Amino acid sequence: MENIRDIFWSSSIEDIKKGYIYSESKEKFTCLICGEGFINGIIYPKDNLLMDAEKAVKTHISENHGSVFSFLINLNKRYTGFTDTQKEILTYFYQGLSDKEIIEKQGGGSPSTIRNHRFKLREKEKQARIFLALMELLEGGEREKESSDKLITIHREATMVDDRYVITEAEREKVLKNYIKNGKVNTFPSKEKKKIIILQYMINKFQANKKYSEKEVNEIIKSMLDDYVTVRRYLIQYGFMDRNKDCSEYWVKS
């Protein structure tokens, strides 16, 4: 499975806004929401139309994810920093509603309240720009550091994010070396950091954009570790996978 987590977080703002990225080396457009790929040079048929790869990825995003805005605005609060009210207001702004229309949608309020929201969001934008500039300068200064000192990337749907996710590349490599032999997990760790590292390893055995039955999930886990019940539970609990209510279908969370 292509690591869409790392691709997403390393993408430029412009690519994130588009919702897809193009790889020159792979000659492929990749959806940043789910990881679906479209090979440049291949023609994709759709409803009696023929599309090039870039048009196909745009159509894919529109039909399968609604819009990039919808995906981004509904990311976990730890990434957006928005309250539910701010998310609602931003959505109305995106839809092009006037202040009066927004007040009607909310069932009351005043124009000054909406203007205040606009002002605060603009201030937040300024802060974000400065923060991005500072982080890019920081990254430039850190390039000479050993890659083993860098922190691993957290998956977008991670739950209970705290210091258990503060894991360096060196720590991950050490854990994988100690726990993985010939593709199999010798034992499932009890310590949180090690548990997350092993779960990250195991989720990469599943394909993105594919629905699995519970039996299929169990078989894939069993190919690495016999205790599939425990691992399946943790994959759901830590936000690596999701399932429908009757547990008939499982999938990797994008």
Q: What percent of the chain has pLDDT over 70?
A: 92
Residue 6 contacts residue 204 (beta carbons within 8 Å): no
Residue 5 has pLDDT above 90, yes or no: no
Is residue 239 a contact partner of residue 204, using CB atoms and an 8 Å limit?
no
Rounded to an integer, the average pLDDT of 144-168 is: 70
Is pLDDT at 144 greater than 90 in this prediction?
no
How much is the pLDDT for 14? 94
pLDDT reported for residue 1: 45
Which pLDDT does position 206 carry in this prediction?
93
Q: In what order do the strands lie in the sheet with 28-31?
A: 20-23, 28-31, 37-39
Residues 61-105 have pLDDT tens digits of: 999 998 999 999 998 887 888 889 899 999 999 999 999 999 999
Q: Look at residue 161 in the predicted model and tell me its pLDDT.
A: 67
What does the pLDDT look like over 32-47, one tens digit per residue?
A: 998 899 999 999 998 8
Per-residue pLDDT, 76:
83
142 pLDDT band, cuts 50/70/90, is low
pLDDT digit string, tens, across residues 169-184: 889 899 999 999 999 9
pLDDT at 185: 95
- Checking if the pLDDT of 143 tops 70, the result is no
Asked if 41 contacts 53 with a C-beta cutoff of 8 angstroms, the reply is yes
For each of the domains in the chain, give its residue range(s) and CATH number, in order of start.
4-71 (no CATH), 76-142 (1.10.10), 163-252 (no CATH)
Mean predicted lDDT score pLDDT of the chain? 88
Which tokens go with 148? 């083993």
Segment 209-246, tens digit of pLDDT: 789 999 999 999 999 999 999 999 999 998 899 999 89
Single-letter code of the amino acid located at 153:
T
Share of the chain above pLDDT 90, in %: 61
Give pairs for 62-69: CB < 8 Å, separation 24+: 64/33, 64/34, 64/36, 65/19, 65/31, 65/33, 65/34, 68/16, 68/17, 68/18, 68/19, 68/33, 69/94
d(CA 210, CA 218): 15
* 198 pLDDT higher than 70: yes
